[in-house]
Amino acid sequence: MFIQPLRYTALSILILSISLLTGCAVNRATATVDPSANLGNIKTIHVNKFGPDKHALDTLIADKAKSMGLTAATGDTPAANTDAVITYIDKWMWDITMYMIELTIQVRDPKTGFTLAVGNSFHTSLTRKSPTEMVDEVMTNIFKGVSQNAKQAAN
């Protein structure tokens, strides 16, 4: 008699634990490039700082762009020869520590503001990544086709 209630209690705790853990393990990494955009023509970018950003993501994005062979700058006003302006929005959550749950980056035409490409990274607490990793993930996904085309052209 005593074993049966204990067995149901253990089984209930196991089911509850699994459902709670699987419900929190969500991640997403996407990028969409406008069919009319030629990201391969972009050589110089300007990263506009998102007003509420307290984590210097504009610098992380510019650094990633530089590592991809682009000329990148941050600041208030883009230079006259800027090929694209990057805007971004970051969202942060608290789960024992603060972490970035979502990052969205948009590549825009500097003259018209038209969105040429948009990328997004979303990681909940169990799949969280550092800001550097999320910037890397989004920028790599946005410019994936560009780097593949450049490799094919070099061969």
The one-letter amino acid at 149: N
The CATH number of the domain holding residue 60 is 3.30.160
The more confidently predicted of residues 70 and 7 is 70
Tokens 């018209």 map to which residue? 112
Helical segments of the chain, H only? 3-24, 57-67, 131-142, 144-154
What's the number of domains the chain is made of? 1
Answer yes or no: is 18 within a domain. no
Answer yes or no: is 14 within a domain. no
pLDDT at 154 over 50: no
User: What pLDDT, on a 0 to 100 scale, did the predictor assign at position 26?
Assistant: 75
The one-letter amino acid at 69: G
Name the residue range of residue 36's domain. Answer: 25-154
Positions of E strands within 58-130: 71-74, 84-95, 97-108, 115-123
Distance CA 16, CA 75 (A): 49
Answer yes or no: is 58 within a domain. yes
* DSSP reduced 3-state for 29: strand
User: What pLDDT, on a 0 to 100 scale, did the predictor assign at position 52?
Assistant: 82
Answer yes or no: is 81 within a domain. yes
User: What pLDDT, on a 0 to 100 scale, did the predictor assign at position 25?
Assistant: 62
Answer yes or no: is 19 within a domain. no
User: What pLDDT, on a 0 to 100 scale, did the predictor assign at position 146?
Assistant: 65
User: What pLDDT, on a 0 to 100 scale, did the predictor assign at position 5?
Assistant: 56
3-class SS shares of the chain: helix, strand, coil, % to 5: 40, 30, 30
Report the range of poorest mean pLDDT among 90-94, 125-129, 151-155: 151-155
pLDDT at 24 over 60: no
Answer yes or no: is 80 within a domain. yes
Answer yes or no: is 5 within a domain. no
pLDDT bracket for residue 4 (50, 70, 90)? low
Answer yes or no: is 4 within a domain. no
Please enumerate in sequence order all residues whose Cβ is within 8 A of that of 29, keeping only pairs 6 or more positions apart, or say none: 119, 120, 121, 122, 137, 138, 141
Is the pTM of the predicted complex or chain greater than 0.85?
Answer: no
